[in-house]
Every structure is written in C-alpha cells, then in structure tokens.
Chains A and B, each alone.
Chain A
Amino acid sequence: MTSATMSAGTTRTYQDYQRPLWRRVLMTREMAVYAALVGVIAFASGAVDNFAAPITYTYLFLDIAAILLIALPMTLVIITGEIDLSVASVVGLSSVLTGLLYQAGLPFGVAVVLAIVAGAAAGAVNGFLVTVVGLPSLAVTIGTLALFRGLAVGLLGTTAITDFPDTWRDLVTEKIPGTPIPNIMVLFVVLAIAFAILLHFTPFGRGIFAIGQSKEAAHFSGVRVDRTKLLLFVLSGTVAALAGVYYTLRYGSARGDNATGLELSVVAAVLLGGVSIFGGKGALHGPIAGALLIGVMASALRLASVTSDVINVITGTLLILSVVSPSLLAWGQARAARRRGRSRGEPPTPTGGAPGNTSGA
C-alpha cells in the first residue's frame, strides 16, 4: 500500500513516511473532500436562503442515510477491485418483502429480519457467481440488478403497501433529542465504526487492500481471496436490505420501484471519496464525506430552486473531476519533479503550459 511499490525506482524508499504526521493526515484525498464539504456548507449557509436552518440537516440526513449505509460495504467491495451494482435493486426487493410479510400478518420485526436475510441471500448469489463461477462482478451485478428489481416489481406490481406501525417509523425518523439529527444516524455511526475497524484494523481488512493491489500476490501471501469477496458481497446485500427497510419506513411505503438508480449515487459517493475504482486504495471516511458532499450540494441547489437536471449535471461533473484528478495530480507531480531535476543541471526547456495545474479537488 505504500506508493513506493508503485514507482519504478529500484531503491526501496519509505516515501509516505518522509513527510511529518500532520501532513500525512491532512494532505490526503479524503481531507480534500472534507474541505470541499465545509466550503460548500459555509457558502450555502450564507448564500442560500433557508439553508442554515436546522431542519435542512434533518432532511439532508434522512435523504442520504440509505446512500451512507450502502456506501460502507460498497467501499470494501470496490477496494477489492470488484463492484456491486445490484444494491438498489436489493433495496427495492427488501422493501417489497418487508411490506408483503407485514401485510401477511407477521409482526413487523419478524418481517424486517426475513427481509434482511433475503438481502444476505441476494448478496450470496452475487458472491457465488463472482467467486465460484468466476464471472466478472460488473456483468454479474448488472444481471442481478435487473433480476432483483424484476422480482420486486413482480411481487408487488405497481401498487404500494402503506400503513406501517408508527412506533417503528418514529424509531427511524424522529430526531435525537436536542439535535436536528434523525435516529437512523445512530445506526449508521455504529455500522461505520464496525466497518472502519473491519477494514483498517483487522487482518481481514488488510487482505481486502491486498486483493485490490494484486489478487495473485494476495493469494500467495495466504489471503483467502474468494472467501473474502464472497463475504463482502453478502455484507453488501445485507446492508442494502437494511437500507431497504429504512427506505420503507422513511417513505412510509413498500414499492417495487423504491430507490431506483440509487446504486449510481452510492458508487458516485464512494469514488468521490477517493476510493480507486481499480481497487487497492481508499479509506472509509472518504466515501462518508463523498455522500455528505453530494447530499449537501443537492440540498443547497434544490433550496436555490435549481432543477434536478442541473443538479445531476453538477454531481456528474464533480464526480468525473474526482476520478480524473488523481491522474492529473500524478502527471503534475511528475512534471514538477522533472523540472526540479532539470533546473539543477541544465535550464528547463520552454515547452510552456502551467505545470502546477493540479486543482483537481
């Protein structure tokens, strides 16, 4: 995971540790996203009417809670170099199952547990096809995206099941006393801590990074590649199903088309948070900032009466910038290094162009 392994140099250097601790902590991709987040909040609080009100944050957290939840396992999946595009369909399927089972007379808690088990099973299907059958996860999860969504819509048709118990609804959407933050964020924080420990402080987590860097090297180092991936897909399906239960309670309705297209927002948040789509790189706090940034921008733009088309364009542009910026940064750094090297010896060649043009964040 040190970038020294990536560079073509023959000497082994500990480049990452040449810099002081505060620089290593603060001058990172993730912190750039947090800085952007703080900047957008500060700007919107001043420039957009009604944004500074506490209720903005209540709605913001309610809107992005599902994205935040699913982004946790998605981060792990993407760090292994795989992807799970079926999560939004699992949300829909779990929402429909919760509704149907509750309507059939089961206690709500039992319906929730069964829906989450179904989500885990859906994740296991993805994991089985990727690890045992050996298919690429992109193709597998595009297929199950259609399959799970089809099941959800087929089970319930175009109708909706409503009238869920108020106690359960309040449990999710009521605010934590004295704050504008809804209760669902408690669940999110607990899960975020659990996933952070899993990814950053366990051998299992180090295996995840190793798989992302090189599957073969990880395998020969004793990482159980297939078991790790299978587990991650099951986790992804489980958390997506949990998000489906949240979705059902938040919007008070179980519908087959709930959360259509949510997988794109989740992948967007994860990539925006500095996780490499090629695997092997990332940290869990990045995608959290990415999801918050997307949510805050959408909220501010809506309050400024910008239409959803424009919001989508801005989100998409930001995302492309965030995916392109590491390459631009690397190019800029290489160029700067070359210039430094040249300036010691011969004068730099007048090629023109701005070498420091790396304002990708």
Chain B
Amino acid sequence: MKSSIMNARRSGLAMAAALALALTACSSGGDSDTSSSDAGGGDSGGGDANLSITFLPKNLGNAYFDTSNSVGGQSAIEEFGGTYEEVGPAEATPDSQVPFINTAAQQGVGALVVSANDPAAICDALNEARDAGVKVVTYDSDTNADCRDLFINQATADGIAQVQVDMIAEQIGDEGQIAVLSASANATNQNAWIATMEEILASDHPNIELVDVVYGDDDDQTSFDKTAALLQTYPDLKGIVSPTTVGISAAARYLSTSEYKGQVAITGLGTPNQMREYVEDGTVTEFALWNPADLGYLAAYAAKALIEGEITGAEGDSFDAGTLGSYTVGADGVVLLGDPYRFNADNIGDFDF
C-alpha cells in the first residue's frame, strides 16, 4: 500500500513537471501571429543611414500592438525603405522587456520604438542603448523623459474630454440628463477627464445636466449592474458616457437587451472589437479612441527622422510623417498624434483590435 501511495505521489510530481514545461512552452497566448520580417526595401534605401527599426510592445499577442506595429509601423517602414522588426516578451512586465532592449543595443539597430511597462524600470537599459547609438522613441506608454529621445503621445486629457462631450452632445441633441460610468473612484486618468468634461459642459453646453458619476471599478459585472441602476434611478436619462473600455462595453451589453435600446445614447472610449456588435445592432452610434495604426506609423517616421539627423527631439523640431502630414515636437520631446479617432458604423469594419 505504502509503495502505491508513493507511486501516486511521484506521478503527481511528474505531472507537475510536465505542466511546468507546458506553461513554459506556451505562456504567451497561442494566437499571436506576429513575427519579425524584413521590409521589402531592405536596408539599401536610406543612403548610409541605418534604417533598421525595432518595435518593442508591452507584450506580444496583443491585438492593440499587432495593429500599431505590424499594420502601422511596418507599412511606414516599407514606405521609406527601412527594415522592420518586432520583438517582445510574452508577459507585460518591465523586467522581461530589458533583455530585448539589451539585444537591440547589441545588434546596433538604428532605432528602438518601445511601449514601456514601467516608466523608470527600463530606463537604465534604454540609456545604455542610447549610449550605443540607438535612437529611442516611446509610444503608447512613456518612460521618464530623460531615457528616450521622443514620446509619441496618442491623446491628451483635453482632447479625450472634448471628443466625449462632443459625441454625447451630438447624440442627444445638446440637451437633457447624462451620467458618467467611470472606472474606479480613484482612477487618475478617468478623474482628470471627467473634471475637464464638467468644465466643458458648464461653459459650452448649458442644457446638458450631468446628474451622476458612478464607478464600475473596471469590472464587467459591476459596470453592468451600475448601468442598470443608473437607468432605474434616472428615468429621464438621455445618455451615458463611459471613459473606460470595460465600462462602455458592459453598458452597451446591458442597453442592447433592454427596453432603453435606442432611447438612451451610450458613448465613450472603447475598442472596435469589443464594440462592433453594438454598433452593428444600433445600440451605439459612435465612440472614440485613438487609431493605433496611426500611432505606430507616426512612431516609425519619428524614428526615421531621428536616425537621419533631421531632428534631435528638441522642442520645435518638425518632421514629415508620410500620409499623416507634418508634425512638430512639443515640450519634453512629446509629439501628439492628434485628436482621438471616432469609430462608427461607416469605419468600424476597417479595424481589428
């Protein structure tokens, strides 16, 4: 008996080992189809400048970064004849990004375009790479300003607040009660946006009354329940603004099956893949976010301008970004992509993230 128990325990350990292996082998979500590839032009196009540009997202297998890198970044690099490469860790942690930054420095790439998992933790590695001659552009998530040459900022707080007020005003005819379904009560970004929205509403839209701000804690079920409670509490509610992707999809899911569908407008910040069915069934007219493909495209052109010495990243430098036009570097080496992008029934089919 004893030995059979021992055997059972041993096979349990063996299974754990096998499990550990399986986890090691596929800890990165099997649906990632991104991989490095050389752009058609090769590295002969840019004269003597080293136009090899490596994209380092927060992690691989993330539809948002697939769009920004292999749709936006790669097409830009193909346009100007550089070499595109995408590398990245399986998990979105700063310590797993560092080896890839080290590697880019060793390879002597022209520029590294990185979305930082931590503003400070990858600084030393980035500065080592810059000492080795690599230009560093951050996009999506910035590092401290002294560890990169440029930051491509997708949107400002003012821009996000303005587009949300504009959308809800258009959708409810610029008058009536609205409510906000936010993330958690102490979410820094959301609170800043809501404060700015209140100012814009007070000055430009006196007929719109913001009756309540509720918090769904970026939890799908909580957001769903809060939406139901809002609609019960305020029978005259004309619209809901949710400046968080979790909140807007939960609210839209509630509305799409409720009697309020078509009566109450819902808008805010969302992603096309989450919102597609609600736009197609008419629950949602329009929502906003930035276009990640444009973000990657602009980052690639900014990297090119840095490599070729056209700009140094100083305030006031301006460079050409292909089909997006010309951009100027702002304070602290920040380049603003532009106003948030509005998604509606006409264009949502063009996006997959």
Q: Is the CB of A259 within 8 A of B95?
A: yes
Is B60 among interface residues, defined by CB-CB distance under 8 A? yes
Segment 227-247 of A: residues with Cβ below 8 Å from B = 247
Is B264 among interface residues, defined by CB-CB distance under 8 A? no
B93: chain A residues within 8 A (beta carbon): 255, 257-258, 260
A277 in contact with B13 given A307-B35, A317-B25 (CB within 8 Å): yes
Known: A50-B107, A56-B106, A308-B88. 19 other contacts (CB 8 A): A59-B103, A81-B10, A160-B119, A251-B94, A253-B120, A255-B94, A258-B93, A258-B95, A259-B95, A261-B91, A267-B20, A303-B107, A307-B87, A312-B24, A312-B27, A312-B90, A316-B21, A316-B24, A317-B25
Kindly state the separation between the CA atoms of A49 and B91 in the bound complex, as whole angstroms: 26
Is A305 among interface residues, defined by CB-CB distance under 8 A? yes
- Most chain A CB inside 10 Å of its own CB: which residue of B23, B34, B103, B123: B103
Is B14 among interface residues, defined by CB-CB distance under 8 A? yes
Q: Is the CB of A136 within 8 A of B35?
A: no
Q: Is the CB of B28 within 8 A of A305?
A: no
Kindly state the separation between the CA atoms of A84 and B77 in the bound complex, as whole angstroms: 47
Kindly state the separation between the CA atoms of A306 and B118 in the bound complex, as whole angstroms: 24
A-B residue pairs, 6 tightest by C-beta: A316-B25, A253-B121, A162-B120, A302-B103, A59-B102, A277-B17
Is A180 among interface residues, defined by CB-CB distance under 8 A? no
Is A53 among interface residues, defined by CB-CB distance under 8 A? yes
Segment 90-116 of B: residues with Cβ below 8 Å from A = 90-91, 93-96, 98-100, 102-103, 106-108
A interface majority secondary structure: helix
Kindly state the separation between the CA atoms of A299 and B99 in the bound complex, as whole angstroms: 8
Kindly state the separation between the CA atoms of A319 and B24 in the bound complex, as whole angstroms: 10
Segment 135-166 of A: residues with Cβ below 8 Å from B = 136, 138, 160, 162-163
B66: chain A residues within 8 A (beta carbon): none
Min distance, Cβ B85 to any Cβ of chain A, angstroms: 6
Is B16 among interface residues, defined by CB-CB distance under 8 A? yes
Kindly state the separation between the CA atoms of A55 and B103 in the bound complex, as whole angstroms: 10
Kindly state the separation between the CA atoms of A318 and B9 in the bound complex, as whole angstroms: 25
Kindly state the separation between the CA atoms of A55 and B91 in the bound complex, as whole angstroms: 25
Q: Is the CB of B99 within 8 A of A59?
A: yes
List chain B positions with a Cβ less than 8 A from chain A. Answer: 2, 9-10, 12-14, 16-18, 20-28, 32, 34-36, 60-61, 85-91, 93-96, 98-100, 102-103, 106-108, 118-124
Is A205 among interface residues, defined by CB-CB distance under 8 A? no
Min distance, Cβ A214 to any Cβ of chain B, angstroms: 9
Q: Is the CB of B24 within 8 A of A81?
A: no
Q: Is the CB of B87 within 8 A of A308?
A: yes
Q: Is the CB of B13 within 8 A of A278?
A: yes
Min distance, Cβ B322 to any Cβ of chain A, angstroms: 25
A116: chain B residues within 8 A (beta carbon): none
Kindly state the separation between the CA atoms of A307 and B86 in the bound complex, as whole angstroms: 8
Kindly state the separation between the CA atoms of A58 and B13 in the bound complex, as whole angstroms: 35
Is A313 among interface residues, defined by CB-CB distance under 8 A? yes
Kindly state the separation between the CA atoms of A264 and B28 in the bound complex, as whole angstroms: 14
Q: Is the CB of B120 within 8 A of A305?
A: no
Is A330 among interface residues, defined by CB-CB distance under 8 A? no
A302 in contact with B32 given A255-B94, A316-B22, A319-B24 (CB within 8 Å): no
Number of interface residues, chain A, beta carbon within 8 A:
49
Kindly state the separation between the CA atoms of A305 and B90 in the bound complex, as whole angstroms: 15
B27: chain A residues within 8 A (beta carbon): 261, 264, 312
Kindly state the separation between the CA atoms of A278 and B18 in the bound complex, as whole angstroms: 13
Q: Is the CB of B124 within 8 A of A63?
A: no
Q: Is the CB of A268 within 8 A of B24?
A: yes
Q: Is the CB of B24 within 8 A of A315?
A: yes
- Most chain A CB inside 10 Å of its own CB: which residue of B25, B28, B61, B100: B25
Is A83 among interface residues, defined by CB-CB distance under 8 A? yes
Min distance, Cβ B128 to any Cβ of chain A, angstroms: 10
Is A110 among interface residues, defined by CB-CB distance under 8 A? no
Is A293 among interface residues, defined by CB-CB distance under 8 A? no
Q: Is the CB of A255 within 8 A of B107?
A: no
Q: Is the CB of B91 within 8 A of A260?
A: yes
B20: chain A residues within 8 A (beta carbon): 264, 267-268
- 15 pairs of residues in contact across A and B, judged by CB atoms under 8 Å: A59-B103, A136-B9, A160-B120, A162-B123, A251-B121, A251-B122, A252-B121, A252-B123, A261-B91, A264-B20, A302-B103, A308-B88, A312-B26, A315-B24, A316-B24
A308 in contact with B12 given A56-B106, A302-B103 (CB within 8 Å): no
B88: chain A residues within 8 A (beta carbon): 307-308
Min distance, Cβ A94 to any Cβ of chain B, angstroms: 14
Q: Is the CB of B120 within 8 A of A83?
A: no
Min distance, Cβ A311 to any Cβ of chain B, angstroms: 9
Q: Is the CB of B94 within 8 A of A253?
A: yes
Q: Is the CB of A312 within 8 A of B120?
A: no
- Most chain B CB inside 10 Å of its own CB: which residue of A59, A255, A309: A309
Q: Is the CB of A265 within 8 A of B89?
A: no
Min distance, Cβ B182 to any Cβ of chain A, angstroms: 18
A163: chain B residues within 8 A (beta carbon): 120
Kindly state the separation between the CA atoms of A50 and B107 in the bound complex, as whole angstroms: 6
A162: chain B residues within 8 A (beta carbon): 120-121, 123
